[in-house]
Structure 1
Amino acid sequence: MDYKVLRYCVIAGAVLGAILAVLGGILIPIGDSIIDGTVRKEAVIEVGTIAYDNWVSAGAAVYRQFWLFDVLNSEDIIANGSKPVVAQRGPYTYKTRFLPKENITFHSNDTVEFMLPAGAIFEPSMSVGSEEDVFTVLNLAVAGSYPVLPHAMLDLFMRLSNSSLFQRRNVKELLWGYPDPMLKTDLGVFHPYNGTYDGPYNVFTGKDDISKVSRIDRWQREPTVSFWNDTYCNMINGTDGSSFAPFLDKREPLYFFSSDICRSVSAEYVSTENLKGIEVYRYMLPDKTLAAPSENPDNMCYCTDSPVNQNCSLAGVLDVTTCRGIPVFISLPHFLHGSESLVQALDGLSPSEEEHSTFLDVDPITGFTLNFAKRLQMNMMYGPSTVIKDLLKVKDYTVFPVLWLNETASLDDETANMFKAQLVTPMKTLEIVQITLLAIGCILFVICTICAVIVPWKAKEDLNKTF
């Protein structure tokens, strides 16, 4: 056997292995640099990028599902002051956010301004019934007037219009509006909606600083809101929740502003999920979001002097009267994470973490929100009165649920395939090449190095046998 030739081959193999291993190692920072550059380019809100195409108009269909609270014992409540019994009815589903952003204007300070149009289309196939389904619900006019008007005046208005604490309304009327006989105007939980706009918003494009992409600079042309009479609570923090800066750190919370609740909130990482073959980080609102100030001092400036707040000791509700212009209280559905007294005040509530919590599934590389469920409950308040006929028997102030909604969107197959083809697959392919080169190179180097030691020893042994 020609050990000399074999030794050269072994040495050459070791050198080749070393080269492959070094090449694989070199590709790691090079690959990371390529990925970083690609993401930084495509995550910018600029015409021609992936981010822009999905930003102008939602890539996945966005739906709002509504569950209405049907009052089962309205007569007993009025006649005897009985504990309310409610049953949720739903979902009644509408397609929303199907209209692209309007009046898009880029500014020189790395921001873009736009208006967000509102629209809703009923989806019968995703609903339990029709928009004409009728239920007994809280009277919006009476509950809205209770904390505002003198009780003698409200009682007179109720008598003249033949109004009661509760009313019979169909789904369409309650959501989108009806002529109210007492106030002589159109009322509805979301009236007016179709044809209205949210904004204008000014958000950073990320072109100059990718860490600021999608962050809200101004809402309604102001850098803060003015609903809370406090600098901290009036801050507008983060994005609108549809996307965040790329390269997420799961140890850091995500901040976003919601005009629905007139304030900014944060979401914390809870788990890593697989969404149609894409690894996403799931973020959820922490329990402290609507906690009482005794548990979360940051919430003190959201507390108002409403009688339902119980000297700021009540958890789980947010008084948005100054924002909405009418006495409205926002909570999580079924008063999830709220004070026990809220749930115990009515029969028929059953808070569930799985069904009633809000979450966002965000791609950790690009910062795009690929799946979300925003769940909120709209409540109003009434209490005892020595004047108003319908409230003579009522003993306590009650935060009464009108409905809760689940605004949701999930990545469809077409968008998922596009996302994987343009971003996920190239990244995984590059990663596989890096690992393969490094592994083959290291294995080849180790094997050939061992052989390089064995071959001379074997050659010497054979030589000794010859002599």
Structure 2
Amino acid sequence: MGCCDLKCWLIAGTVVGAIACLAGLILIPVGNVVIEGTVKKEAVLQPGTTAYKNWISAGAPLYRQMWLFDVQNPEEVVRNGSVPVLKQRGPYTYRTRYIPKENVTFNDNYTVSFLLPAGAIFEPSMSVGTEEDIVTSLNLAVAGAYNLIDHKLANMLIQLSKSTLFQSRTVREMLWGYRDPMLKSIMGLFYPYNNTFDGPYNVFTGQDDTNKVSVIDNWQNRPSVLYWNDTYCNMINGTDGSSFSPFLDKKKHLYFFPSDICRSVYAEYVNSLDLKGITVYRFMLPQSIFASPTVNLDNKCFCTNYEVTNNCTMAGVLDIKACKGAPVFISLPHFLHGSPELLQTVNGLNPDPEEHSTFLDVEPITGFTLRVSKRLQVNMVYGPSKDIKILNQVKQITMFPLVWLNETASLDDETADMIKRELFSRMGTLETVQIALIASGAVLFIFCLIGVCVVKQTTGKKVF
């Protein structure tokens, strides 16, 4: 091969290498635009999109695990005013949210309204016992009478019905309802539940702006709630937590509205995890959500019971009586992040951030929540009363934990494979092509350029 032919081939190789390298670099922004466009298209809540398929019916099973608190010394509490000794019983597990959304109606493509039907199916294989297990717990009617009506009238009703401060019931009765002898009505921690609905919700589809995908426009036909007598606390912010807008920024809070606690909350980024080969961002409810107003001034309007909360200095509990119509307080399980006095009025609680915190694992590109664990505790209050005989010996106001629950859902293998196949495999292919073009182009360019320089030195002539 002549010197001229070699120089021509080297020059051609240099040009081809430069073009390949440039093509790889150009593919980066072009590929990002293509991926972004695809993700945004599939994130919109419209029939046929990936988001809609996951949204209309829960893909992964949602389970509600429940632990009830069994009183070990009920007679001593009434007779001597002893501190209740509690033993956690559970989990008793139910499958919930297995029914697709109902009354789905699109409104000019910008919002969609729907109802969330409620149902619970007992899962024996995921439970420690049966629904017929007996637990001794606070008498819901007595606690309600203590908080809602005149104590002399309450005492008369209690004595006529021979009710006691604590009662023994089956798990099924405590959770789903029984006929109370004092009030002559059905009572239960979650009664009524089956065949009821949450909503209606009206949320943005993201058709005009993907940053608004699944954001709640109104709930129960109102843009805000009416429970807190304050504009800020009444705000409905964010989504229902099942999904968020695509391309998450880990520096920003995720806002969502859990209707069962009657207020909006937010979660903060904690770390990144691998979930079945998919990178997810873990967001957790911060301690400030249940902080006392003396620590977090934003919580002042959520404090409505000055007596129980020591003039709003107590952390860890939320009075939702205005929302639920019953004197119920919500907290994190075992009073996690609560004031020390909450743990001093009962024995047997052991708050653990690993076991009792709420978190969401969200895929950051699509905004889909792929794993969630929502943990809450339901509490009622009783205390000293000179007019209610069975409370004569009680020495202090007691925030009594009835049950704590963990609502969990996690990505299954089939959905994980679909996400990796439909989204990440394409992204991986594009990235591989980019890297191959840049690497091979750079190597070809450098070697050919070196060859040109060698030929130039050998011949002593100008190459270009």
TM-score bracket for the superposition, by shorter chain length: over 0.9
Q: What is the TM-score of this pair, normalised by structure 1?
A: 0.97
Name the residue aligned to 1:60: 60
Letter of the 1:153 counterpart:
L
The alignment status of 1:430 with 2:430, answered yes or no, reads yes
Name the residue aligned to 1:126: 126
Stretches of structure 2 that go unaligned for 5 or more consecutive residues are none
Letter of the 1:387 counterpart:
D
Give the SS at the match of 1:399. strand
Contact 1:116 1:199 (8 Å CA) reproduced? yes
Rounded to whole Å, the distance in 1 between the matches of 2:287 and 2:67 is 23
Q: Provide the aligned length of Structure 1 versus Structure 2.
A: 461
Name the residue aligned to 1:377: 377
Letter of the 1:410 counterpart:
S
The alignment status of 1:257 with 2:267, answered yes or no, reads no
Name the residue aligned to 1:453: 453
Contact 2:306 2:312 (8 Å CA) reproduced? no
- Shift of residue 390, structure 1, vs aligned partner: 1.6
Contact 2:161 2:181 (8 Å CA) reproduced? yes
Any idea what the Cα deviations from partners look like across 1:64-94, whole Å, max 9, x if unmatched? 0000001111111111111111011100000
Name the residue aligned to 1:227: 227
- Shift of residue 458, structure 1, vs aligned partner: 3.3
The alignment status of 1:439 with 2:411, answered yes or no, reads no
Name the residue aligned to 2:331: 331
Any idea what the Cα deviations from partners look like across 1:85-108, whole Å, max 9, x if unmatched? 101110000000000000011112
Name the residue aligned to 2:188: 188
Contact 1:290 1:338 (8 Å CA) reproduced? yes
Name the residue aligned to 1:279: 279
Rounded to whole Å, the distance in 2 between the matches of 1:313 and 1:79 is 31
Rounded to whole Å, the distance in 2 between the matches of 1:200 and 1:345 is 39
Name the residue aligned to 1:49: 49
Using the aligned pairs only, state the percent identity: 62
Contact 2:305 2:319 (8 Å CA) reproduced? no
Any idea what the Cα deviations from partners look like across 1:10-44, whole Å, max 9, x if unmatched? 22221111111111111111111111111111100
Name the residue aligned to 1:340: 340
Name the residue aligned to 1:70: 70
- Shift of residue 306, structure 1, vs aligned partner: 4.1
- 304-313 or 231-240: bigger deviation: 304-313
Rounded to whole Å, the distance in 2 between the matches of 1:341 and 1:264 is 26
- Shift of residue 2, structure 1, vs aligned partner: 3.3
Name the residue aligned to 1:294: 294
Letter of the 1:72 counterpart:
Q
- Shift of residue 445, structure 1, vs aligned partner: 1.5
Rounded to whole Å, the distance in 2 between the matches of 1:320 and 1:26 is 56
- Shift of residue 271, structure 1, vs aligned partner: 0.5
Letter of the 1:366 counterpart:
T
Name the residue aligned to 1:464: none
- Shift of residue 234, structure 1, vs aligned partner: 0.1
Rounded to whole Å, the distance in 1 between the matches of 2:264 and 2:209 is 22
Contact 1:307 1:397 (8 Å CA) reproduced? no
Give the SS at the match of 2:426. helix
- Shift of residue 5, structure 1, vs aligned partner: 2.3
Letter of the 2:21 counterpart:
A
Any idea what the Cα deviations from partners look like across 1:132-168, whole Å, max 9, x if unmatched? 0001011111111211111111111111111111100
Letter of the 1:279 counterpart:
T
Contact 2:14 2:446 (8 Å CA) reproduced? yes
Q: What is the TM-score of this pair, normalised by structure 2?
A: 0.98
- Shift of residue 121, structure 1, vs aligned partner: 0.2
- Shift of residue 305, structure 1, vs aligned partner: 2.8
Any idea what the Cα deviations from partners look like across 1:309-339, whole Å, max 9, x if unmatched? 1000000000000000000000000011111
Stretches of structure 1 that go unaligned for 5 or more consecutive residues are 462-467
Name the residue aligned to 1:17: 17
- After TM superposition, list the pairs within 5 Å mapping 1:353-432 onto structure 2: 353-432=353-432
Letter of the 1:226 counterpart:
L
The alignment status of 1:268 with 2:268, answered yes or no, reads yes
- 137-146 or 116-125: bigger deviation: 137-146
Rounded to whole Å, the distance in 1 between the matches of 2:307 and 2:426 is 58
Name the residue aligned to 1:170: 170
- Give the superposed CA RMSD: 1.2
C-alpha spacing 1:459/1:269, structure 2 compared with 1 (3 Å): same
Rounded to whole Å, the distance in 2 between the matches of 1:187 and 1:458 is 98
- Shift of residue 119, structure 1, vs aligned partner: 0.3
- Shift of residue 182, structure 1, vs aligned partner: 0.7
- Shift of residue 455, structure 1, vs aligned partner: 2.3
Name the residue aligned to 2:33: 33
Rounded to whole Å, the distance in 2 between the matches of 1:335 and 1:439 is 56
Name the residue aligned to 2:88: 88
Any idea what the Cα deviations from partners look like across 1:327-368, whole Å, max 9, x if unmatched? 000000001111111122211100011100000000101101
- Shift of residue 428, structure 1, vs aligned partner: 1.7
Name the residue aligned to 1:203: 203
Rounded to whole Å, the distance in 1 between the matches of 2:449 and 2:345 is 78
Rounded to whole Å, the distance in 2 between the matches of 1:455 and 1:125 is 78
